[in-house]
Amino acid sequence: MSADYLHLCSVILKQCFGNVVESVANCLFSATTRTLSQIVSTTKLPRKEVCVALAVLIRFRLVSFEPSQTNPFLPEYSLRREDIIFLLRHPRYIYLMQNKYGNVGASITEELIHSGSHTHVNKVLLNCLADEDVGTANAETHRNTFLQMISDHYIIKMPELIEGDDQDESVPRFQSDECEYFRHPNIDLHLLSMISKGEASLSDSKESNMMWTLNYDRFHQDFRDAIMVDSIKRKLGDSAAECFSFILTLIYNTTDPWQRKTSNQITFMEIKQTIERKSNNLDLIKYLDQYISLLTDDSLGFLRKVGDMGNGQYLVDMERAFESLAFACIESVITERFGSKAARIFRVIRFKKFIEQEDLQKEAMIPAKEAKSLAYNLFQEQFIHVKVIKKPGGGSNGPAKAFYLYQVKQKDTVRMLLDISFKALYNAIERSSYEKFEHKGLIDKSQRLDAIVETMRERGESDEFIAEIMETFTPPECEILKKVKNRIQALSKAELTLDNSIFLLQMYQHHCTTLPTSIQKFK
C-alpha cells in the first residue's frame, strides 16, 4: 500500500460518502485494526458520527470487524483497503450486466450497488419495479433475471449475522456456509405485489434475513477474461480468440478461477466436443487443431501443452499470460513517454536479461550518445535497474573492476506504474472536483434555469416567453459551461480508461507474485 493509494482512497470515499467517512477510513487505513474509542480519539469526531460512518462502511463491505484477541466483548475494525477502488468500477459492473441481461439486469445491479450489501431480495425487486410500470410480467422477468444472476454467480448471498440474546454482549459474528452462497431464494410475486400496493409489509416475507450482494470476484473474472481474449483477437485473429474463450469456460469447470499460476488441465477432446457443440464458426471447427497449436506456439504463452492424454493435454498459463500483457503495458508507456527508441532499448534488456551499455547500443543499433541518455533516463524513472558485479581484487592497484549490467525487474516496475496510475487517477478526480467547484455558480444557474423552463413548458407558457427566460443565460456563460462540461467529461473518461490499466497491473500482481491482492474468496 502506497501513499498514492491512500490519497486516492480518501478522495474516492470523500466523493462517495462525505467527509466523516473519509476521516474514519483514513484513520483505519494507517493501522491494521482499531477499536471504536481509538478511532474517536484519533479523528476527534463525535462518537455518534463515527458510529454512523462505520455502519456505512460495513454496509458497503469496506470495513470488517472482529472481536479483539484480549477482550471478546470489544470489536476491532479493519479497513479492506483493496476494495475501495471497486467503488470506481461500478459503471463497468452495470455496463457488463446491461450487456448480459439487458436493462433489467442493469437496474438490479444498480439497486444492489446503491443499497450496499444489506439488501433483501424483495426490497431490490420492489425498488426496481417502483421505477417502472408494475405488472406481473415485468415482475416475473425481474425475478428470473435475479435468479439467473445468482446461478451465474454475479450475485452472492451475504453471510448471516448471528445475534446473541440481549444478555450476550459479545461481538456479533458472521456465519457463512459455502453451499448457501448461490442457493436460490424463494421469491413470492404475490406478496411483492401486495407490498407494493401497501397491503403487506416487507417484514412479512420469509427468509427476511437473507441478504444479497454483488460478487465482485465474478465480475473481475469476466474483465480478466475479456482482456485475455481481446489480446488474442488483436494478435491472432477472431477465430483464435473464440477458441480461447471456449477453453476458458471449460477450464472454469474444474479450476478455481483465481488459482494464481496455472489452471488445471483439459484435453483436446474436451475442447473439440465443446466447440463442435456450441460454436457456429466453421473456420474454427475445421482448423481447430491448428488454432490450438497456434495458441500454444505463440510468444504470449497463454496456452501450454503438458501431455498427450486425450490427444493432448493443455492448461492455461495465467502467469505467463499476465507477464506478457504487463510487459506490453509497460512498453506502451515507455513508447509514449520516452519514444520508440527507448522502448527498443527496454526490449533489448528484457530479451537479453543482463546487458552492458556497450553491447546495448550495438544490439539496439542506436548511436552511443542517444542510447546512453535513453538508458539513463529509463534507469532514473525506475523502468530498468542496474546490477553491479564486482570483480574481487584490486586492492593496492587502484579500484576493483566492476561490471554494470542493466536488467529489468518487472515486479518493481509494475508496482511503480501502479503508483503512477493511482496518482493519475487521484489527479483526475481532484481536477474534476476543482472544475465543478470553480464553476459551481454557473452549473447551479443552468440547472435552475432548466428546471424553470421545464415547469413553464408543463404549464404551457408561450415559446417566446420561454426564449426570453433562456436569454438570461448569456452566450459567454453558455460557452464557458460547455467548456467545463467537456473538461469534466474528458476527465471522467480518463478515470475509466485509467482503471483499465490499473486492473491489468493488479491482475499481474495476482498471478505473477505472491502478494496479497484484492481477490479473496468471500469470507
Partner 1 sequence: MAAAADIAQLVLAVIKGIPTGATNDDLTKALTDIPAATRVEGLNILLQQGGIEILKKGEKLIYRAKDPEKVSALPKDADNEEKVVYGIVEEGGNKGIWIRDIRMKSNLNMTQLNKILKNLETKKLIKAVKSVNASKKKVYMLYNLEPDRTVTGGAWYQDQDFEVEFVDVLNQQCLRFLQMKRENAEKKREGPLVLREMSCCTVNEVHKFISDLGVSKVNLDEDDLETILKTVVYDGNAERVMKSDGSYVYRAVNSPLPPTGLIQMPCGICPVIKNCSDCGDVTAINCQYMKDWLD
Q: Which residues bind partner 1 (CB under 8 A)?
A: 7, 231-232, 234-237, 239-240, 283, 286-287, 290-291, 293-294, 299-300, 324-325, 328-329, 331-333, 336-337, 340, 343-344, 347-348, 351, 363-368, 370, 417, 420-421, 423-424, 426-428, 430-431, 434, 483, 486-487, 490-491, 494, 496-502, 504
Q: Which is nearer to partner 1, 65 or 322 (CB)?
A: 322
CB of 514 to partner 1, least distance (A): 25
**Minimal distance in Å, beta carbon 362 to partner 1?**
8
Q: Closest distance between partner 1 and the C-beta of residue 429, in Å?
A: 9
Give the residue with the Cβ less far from partner 1, 9 or 155. 9
Residue located via cell numbers 456456509: 177
Minimum distance from residue 90 beta carbon to partner 1 (Å): 17
Choose between 13 and 504: whose C-beta lies nearer to partner 1.
504
Q: How far apart are CA 409 and CA 415, in angstroms?
A: 10
CB of 295 to partner 1, least distance (A): 10
271: left (phi over 0), alpha (psi -120 to 50) or beta: alpha
Q: 197 burial class (0-12, 13-18, 19+ CB within 10 angstroms)?
A: exposed
C-alpha 449/C-alpha 445 separation (Å) is 6
Nearer of residues 251 and 417 to partner 1, judged by Cβ: 417
Q: Which among 288, 384, 291 has a CA at the least distance from the CA of 333?
A: 384
* DSSP characters over 63-125: EEEEE-SS-TTSEEEEE-GGGGGGGGGHHHHHHHHHHHHHHHHHHHHHHHHHH-S-EEHHHHH
**Among 242, 241, 317, 322, which Cα is nearest to 503's?**
322
Decide if 128 contacts 111 (C-beta within 8 A): yes
Distance CA 422, CA 430 (A): 12
The DSSP secondary-structure symbol of 174 reads E
DSSP states along 375-440 = HHHHHHTTSSEEEEEEPS--TTSSSPPEEEEEE--HHHHHHHHHHHHHHHHHHHHHHHHHHHHHTH
Q: Which three cell numbers stand for residue 145?
A: 433475471
CB of 89 to partner 1, least distance (A): 13
* 385 close to 405: Cβ distance less than 8 angstroms: no
Q: Is 50 exposed, middle or buried (0-12, 13-18, 19+ CB in 10 A)?
A: buried
Pick the closer one to partner 1 by CB: 21 or 360: 360
Residue written as cell 486492473? 503
Of the two residues 297 and 308, which places its CB atom closer to partner 1 in the complex?
297
Based on its alpha-carbon atoms, the radius of gyration of the chain, rounded to whole angstroms, reads 28
Q: Closer CB to partner 1, residue 160 or residue 298?
A: 298
Closer residue to partner 1, CB minimum distance, 7 or 34? 7
8 A C-beta contact, residue 32 and residue 78? yes
Rounded Cα distance between 272 and 414, Å, is: 37
- Least gap, CB of 304 to partner 1 (angstroms): 17
Toward partner 1, which CB reaches closer, 271 or 491?
A: 491
CB of 1 to partner 1, least distance (A): 17
Q: Are 43 and 23 in contact (CB under 8 A)?
A: yes
Minimum Å gap between C-beta 442 and partner 1 is: 16
CB of residue 237 vs partner 1: minimum separation in angstroms? 7
In terms of CB distance, is 332 or 520 closer to partner 1?
332
Q: From the CB of 400, what's the least distance to partner 1, in Å? A: 24
Taking the least distance from each CB to partner 1, the nearer of 155 and 228 is: 228
State the minimum distance, in angstroms, from the CB of residue 118 to partner 1.
33
484: which 3 cell numbers?
Answer: 467545463
Q: Judged by CB, which is closer to partner 1: 235, or 411?
A: 235
